[in-house]
Homo-oligomer: A and B are copies of this chain.
Amino acid sequence: MVTPAMVTESVIVSFDKLELDCGVTLSPVECAYETYGALNGARTNAILVVHAFSGDAHAAGEGGWWSNMIGPGKAFDTDRYFIICSNVIGGCRGSTGPGSINPENGSPWAMAFPPVTISDMVRLQKLLIEYLEIPRLLAVSGGSMGGMQALEWAVSYPDGVAAAIPIATTARHSAQQIAFNEVGRQAIMADPDWNGGDYYGGKPPARGLAVARMVGHITYMSDASMREKFGRRLRTPDQFEVESYLTYRGYKFVDRFDANSYIYITRAMDSFDLTQRGSLPSLFERARTRFLVISFTSDWLYPSYQSQEIVSALRSRNADVAYCNLEARYGHDSFLVEVDEQTEMVRGFLESTFRDLERHGRLARSA
């Protein structure tokens, strides 16, 4: 293959096939990805960054969803590390998803697309990492659904990743988290333009998708951050600023996201449950990965107790885990917007992990 280089616009690589958890094999399957920084000669400085529900492969640079975390001198320092980010399977930003063409009939898959899971997402990433000829990742990191993928990496490929940084995430969705996702799905499916998922080439279910996104936005913010940002300020005599903001953001979302991907990806999140494969402690027994777990005090969508459940399980198996419940005001969005302390945590953790591996060829026990 070509030696990996800086790829700051998504490129798409096609793989022969991807076997999904549901039993279906997608063939071929496409994966959109970007890379930032340079892979070192020993190929030991690669970090996979995994996106949250509505993210994509464009993590860094202008408009990148984690551009405040990835770049020269930043938490994921592109002067030192080679950063990879790809769009998940089921997505709508370059990787194969329900809006892709079903090779069997030449039409978009729509709701005939097979259900996907968090481990399917990780399996596609594994293909990409192998394609990039990286024997072991230095780290996998992401927030929210990205954190689920980081956990999945550590459990499924214990030898494939030296360190995992799951942020603002959970080992399984709670009833409340499922419920908020279900409302979004119902809003989409209630839109007549959704048409059972067959809207490609026609009018997308913009109103339903916008309503779904509005619900999401509320859950990403905190009560306090909404009060600070909007309070009870009016935009017009008949409209509060918060109403105008949500409506604007909701309809804006329609331009860049596919409603069927919304359904498929939220279902993947809801069905994710590491404990179905055994108790959390027993799952982490095989993990040879070092962990940094981060949660945020004001995150009520992925409350800190969910991260603490992961940390307790890891500690009960004497795994190498650092945990920080960061004081933050921005709710679930904190991992995207309130990154100063997060940067310090991640930078130090990556440095010591990389140093240990370089010096000793293995992970020393962190303090």
Q: Which residues of A contact B (CB under 8 A)?
A: 172-176, 178-180, 182-183, 186-187, 190-192, 207-208, 210-211, 214-215, 217-218, 221, 223, 226-227, 229-232, 240, 242-243, 246-247, 250, 270, 273, 300, 303
Q: How far is the CB of A137 from chain B (nearest CB, A)?
A: 30
Question: With A174-B226, A174-B227, A176-B218 given, can you name 14 additional A-B contacts, CB distance below 8 Å?
Answer: A172-B232, A174-B232, A175-B242, A179-B214, A179-B226, A182-B240, A182-B247, A183-B246, A186-B210, A187-B187, A192-B192, A223-B300, A240-B270, A300-B300
CB of B232 within 8 A of CB of A175, answer yes
- Residues of chain B lying within 8 A (CB to CB) of residue A231: 175
CB of A232 within 8 A of CB of B187, answer no
CB of B226 within 8 A of CB of A214, answer no
Q: How far is the CB of A12 from chain B (nearest CB, A)?
A: 31
Oligomer: number of copies:
2
21 of the cross-chain contacts (CB-CB < 8 Å) are A174-B223, A174-B232, A175-B227, A176-B218, A176-B221, A176-B227, A178-B242, A178-B243, A179-B217, A179-B226, A179-B242, A182-B240, A183-B214, A183-B218, A186-B210, A187-B187, A187-B190, A211-B211, A215-B215, A223-B303, A300-B300
Q: How far is the CB of A80 from chain B (nearest CB, A)?
A: 40
The 10 closest A-B pairs by CB, nearest first: A190-B207, A175-B226, A175-B230, A182-B243, A175-B242, A176-B223, A183-B214, A179-B218, A176-B226, A187-B211
Complex Cα gap A53–B225 (Å): 26
Q: How far is the CB of A205 from chain B (nearest CB, A)?
A: 9
CB of B218 within 8 A of CB of A250, answer no
Complex Cα gap A246–B246 (Å): 23
